[in-house]
Amino acid sequence: MTDLPLLSARGLTKFYGERLGCRDVTFDLHEGEVLAVVGESGSGKSTLLGLLATELAPSAGAVHYRMRDGAVRDLSELTEAERRLLLRTDWGFVRQDAREGLRMGVSAGGNVGERLMAVGARHYGNIRAAASDWLARVEIEAGRIDDTPKSFSGGMRQRLQIARNLVTHPRLVFMDEPTSGLDVSVQARLLDLIRGLVAELGLAVIIVTHDLAVARLLSHRIMVMRRGRVIETGLTDQVLDDPREAYTQLLVSSVLAA
Amino acid sequence: MRAAMRDDLPFPRTEVGKETEAYNFAYLDEQTKRMIRRAILKAIAIPGYQVPFASREMPMPYGWGTGGVQVTAAVLGPDDVLKVIDQGSDDTTNAVSIRRFFAKTAGVATTTKTREATLIQTRHRIPEEPLRDGQILVYQVPIPEPLRFLEPRETETRKLHALADYGLMHVKLYEDIARHGHIATTYAYPVEVAGRYVMDPSPTPKFDNPKMDMCAALQLFGAGREKRIYAVPPHTRVRSLDFEDHPFRIQTFKQPCALCGAEGGYLDEVVLDDRGGRMFVCSDTDFCEERRAAGHRGAMAADGDAAGETR
Amino acid sequence: MTTEQPLIALDDVSKSFTLHLRGGLELAVVSDVSLAVAAGECVVLGGPSGAGKSSILKMIYGNYRADRGRILVRDGAEVVNVASAEPRRILALRRDVMGYVSQFLRVIPRVATLDIVANAARERGIGQQEAMERARRLLSLLNVPERLWQLPPSTFSGGEQQRVNIARGLAADRPVLLLDEPTASLDAKNRAVVVDLIHEKKRAGTAILGIFHDEDVREAVADRIEDVTRFASSRAA
């Protein structure tokens, strides 16, 4: 374990005109760490995710990332080409709405293979083999490889998103409410799968969720956000079992058996 | 005589006959032609790059070659000899009307012979006879964006081109192989131009793709509805995209042309009756006629040119 | 061994809860806790329920925060203050140094019992082969029927789940073991097994801090009993 963080955010602030998105968020994330960002809608957690993933430009503050070659880069200084390369090699992004994270008109195999082709893979047989390997790892039957996600259930679509993201062996994966909107049993299976893959691959994950049970199951650390600010942070079980802030206590107490 | 007319540009309408006098040379006004020529020059300078241009309303509906017609109008000179083909044929309605259009508005000479033409406007074919230095081939293009199939956002496709980010193009080919066991795209097969931009060669059969590579003629592409012009300069590398284990291959035909006996040309299927009778003949009518004139005969060719008249 | 620097040392540790949802009610738990556990030693926390025994274990494990004082846990040559350590450091301690066994099983739903126990052993770098052997030994000692080993424990009886949990908690060789009533509601036969296993751990040099409800277990394993009532805060009830 190197002591240099993989990602560090310093004073991240975002205003949408007059309206505050998030303010003065500072934290480090190391390789293999899973950080949950919790809070209710409007708390700024999705804004934060957008800033970290370079989908939004901060009003103030910066994000630094240690690239695969070891160089630490200010993400706002990446060229568009570098940014895109990062997004589809060393990063993944699993979205709440699978339709935003997948190409719905393209087969499951094509969805998984796209990242490989984007970084220059030009051997059909190898691409397909990698795709079927990943479909198996996310428990999608081999026979569905040529079906489009239109015919997939919600849980399968999320699993396909995960395969599509992990095929290039990213070190950091952003997840935006990956399990919300799914049936409870489907959620449990997906969380299981994510937890297994995260541990097996040593992924760093930043997961945004309003569901404390999800945070409890997946994350090492937790950041509680309210009105755009981080109000409490710490080990996940510490924050959930011994919440300090009034708001966190309210959150924890409003959940059954979190 | 025609050379003399050049000196009169931009208003060379005096010598092209009474009927023509109502029009500026080649229909479009000089400002418009200049604008289109600028787009063309830029397109030639950046092979395969789609240059936006202010496409004009033409006296024909979109889909009938308004892009190609505007490009032709912009580059046509009084001493050019124009050939127009539609799916390889000189005598379909579309080809005939465009040829007449320029004969009327520019008074230029027209021909059906590839060899004699200095400018060929085409819809969906490249002539079989190799083109030569100095010739210009103008393609009519319905949808210029090769990435459109997978990415509907123009802002995004532009970015992909800018970054030479062409993985998506291979996703399309991947999908083909996954569905059909081979790359089933037979028309508008994407190509990489001069090692940089990926381009849609317009809906020509992929059979014609190899002819674009290192072609001696200048190739210009006009999309009227989509307002784009792009180009392949003479002697430029044009490579069809493929996979290492599924290399690009052109269509082959089991039999030679039924009329002229040519092998290795692109053939059209012609249904002869309602009992399943059919024949395969050259899609390039000029090529076929030239061969027959030179004495070649296919299996179904009657004496003289009788079979040709059925087309 | 007891002359060495202790593996666990609490130094004037205090803990209270502020219940914001009940008008900021201050609930003191313990004050000025000082105690130490050396390698090979088993210290048992005594006192009635509600005295704060469990809270002390949870503070050492980093599960509860301490308001004041130092909680020192030795990781090889380094001594870490859990009360002020970065979350990442505490996670490393949990992986390498501290084990925590409660009476409740919290596991990944679909993993087989044998793998749950073997994986726990492997977390500390024990090879797959040895980890499996250990898992088999612990499960049979704790009388978990072999026919259940390939099944996930979610469908097991409460007692079976508890014994799987103990096997899991004892599978790894961590220098510090925190036992939060692991034997509660076990039958006499299995309590005896746990006692044997704790002795085994002590012989291996593990520092153990535990809470045991059963008198017989407490007597059998404790080198010392620390009465938690002496750390009692004046309650603002």
**ipTM of the complex model:** 0.90
Which entry of B224, B260, B261, B298 is annotated as an active-site residue?
A: B260
Query: Residue B163 corresponds to which tokens in the numbers above?
Result: 């970054």
pLDDT tens, residue by residue, B125-149 = 999 999 999 999 999 999 999 999 8
Q: How far is CA A47 from the centre of its chain?
A: 13
Q: What is the mean pLDDT of chain A?
A: 94
Which residue of chain B comes nearest to A103, CA vs CA?
B150
A109 in contact with B at a CB cutoff of 8 Å? yes
CB contact under 8 A, C88 and A234: no
Residue B295 pLDDT exceeds 80 = yes
Which entry of B222, B224, B288, B298 is annotated as an active-site residue?
A: B288
pLDDT at A256: 56
Query: Residue C131 corresponds to which tokens in the numbers above?
Result: 């980890």
pLDDT tens, residue by residue, A25-81 = 999 999 999 999 999 888 999 999 999 999 999 999 999 999 999 999 999 999 999
Q: What percent of chain B has pLDDT over 90?
A: 80
CATH number attached to the domain at A1-90+170-258: 3.40.50.300
Distances (CA, A) of C125 to B294, C88, C177: 85, 19, 17
More confident residue, C233 or A78: A78
Bridge-based pairing of strands C8-19 and C68-75 is antiparallel
B48 is catalytic: yes
More confident residue, C61 or C1: C61
Assign C124 a pLDDT band (cuts: 50, 70, 90).
confident
Q: What is the mean pLDDT of chain B?
A: 90
pLDDT tens, residue by residue, B85-104 = 999 999 999 999 999 999 99
pLDDT tens, residue by residue, B241-258 = 999 999 999 989 999 999
Residue A234 pLDDT exceeds 90 = yes
Q: What is the mean pLDDT of residues A86-99?
A: 95
Q: What percent of chain A has pLDDT over 70?
A: 98
pLDDT tens, residue by residue, C8-19 = 999 999 999 999
Residue C218 pLDDT exceeds 60 = yes
pLDDT tens, residue by residue, B109-125 = 999 999 999 999 999 99
Q: Which residues of A touch C20 (CB under 8 A)?
A: 245-246, 249-250
Residue C33 pLDDT exceeds 60 = yes
Which entry of B67, B68, B107, B257 is annotated as an active-site residue?
A: B257
3-state secondary structure of C38: coil
3-state secondary structure of A239: helix
What are the residue boundaries of the structural domains of chain A, listed by start? 1-90+170-258, 102-169
More confident residue, A17 or B63: A17
Q: Indicate if the alpha-carbon torsion angle B29, B35, B41, B43 is positive or negative.
A: negative
Task: Look up tokens 């390698």; give the residue.
Answer: C39
For A235, which of C18, C20, C62 is closest by C-beta distance? C62
Which of A114, A124, A164 should we substitute to test contact with B (largest number of B Cβ atoms within 10 Å)?
A124
Query: Residue A95 corresponds to which tokens in the numbers above?
Result: 């979205």
- Cα angle B292, B293, B296 (rounded to 5 degrees) comes to 35
Domains of chain B: 2-144+202-239 (3.40.50.11310), 267-310 (no CATH)
Assign B54 a pLDDT band (cuts: 50, 70, 90).
very high
Assign B18 a pLDDT band (cuts: 50, 70, 90).
low
Which of C56, C59, C78, C88 should we substitute to test contact with A (largest number of A Cβ atoms within 10 Å)?
C88
Alpha-carbon span C25 to C129, nearest angstrom: 53
For A221, which of C58, C87, C92 is closest by C-beta distance? C87
Q: What is the mean pLDDT of residues C192-218?
A: 94
Q: Which residues of A touch B171 (CB under 8 A)?
A: 103, 106, 110, 113-114, 117
For B243, which of A106, A115, A122 is closest by C-beta distance? A122
C91 in contact with A at a CB cutoff of 8 Å? yes
pLDDT tens, residue by residue, A1-28 = 458 999 999 999 999 999 999 999 999 9
Assign B310 a pLDDT band (cuts: 50, 70, 90).
very low
Assign C151 a pLDDT band (cuts: 50, 70, 90).
very high
Residue B305 pLDDT exceeds 60 = no
